[in-house]
Amino acid sequence: MSITTDTKTMTTVAQVDVQSAWLSRINWTQAVAVTASLLVFMTGGKIDIPVETQVALVTAIQAVSGVVTWVLKTFFTKTITPSVAAAPEIPTQDVMK
């Protein structure tokens, strides 16, 4: 990401890299969490895991994935996806130095 100032309009411009949604760590975190939760529910009865334990496992999986997603989005997101880049209503904001 780079931040520059357009001297003609005196506006601040942030340039970010665009990458495929398939490469998004946030998307993969959510996909793994959903898959793990479904596996707990689908196999829990077959290997005699009590329902209460299954619910606790799914709750823990979803809580951890929520925190990991928040951390990745807040502190480690440096790119956007093509659909975001093409959106007509891209939010803009002046960058204060």
Burial 23-59 (b: 16+ CB within 10 A, else e): ebebeebbeebeebbeebeeebeeeeeeeeebeebbe
For residue range 7-54, what is the model confidence (pLDDT) as tens digits? 777 777 777 788 888 888 999 999 999 999 999 989 987 888 899 999
Cα gap 87→41, rounded to integer Å: 37
Q: Which residue has the tokens 């975001």?
A: 84
pLDDT value of residue 93: 56
Q: Would 8 be classed as within a structural domain?
A: yes
pLDDT value of residue 97: 47
- Domains in the chain, number: 1
The structure's pTM equals 0.69
- What's the rounded mean pLDDT across residues 41-69? 92
Residue 81: pLDDT band with limits 50, 70, 90: confident
Q: Would 68 be classed as within a structural domain?
A: yes
Domain range for 66: 2-85
Q: Would 18 be classed as within a structural domain?
A: yes
pLDDT value of residue 90: 60
Query: What is the overall mean pLDDT for the chain?
Result: 83
3 state DSSP class of 81: coil
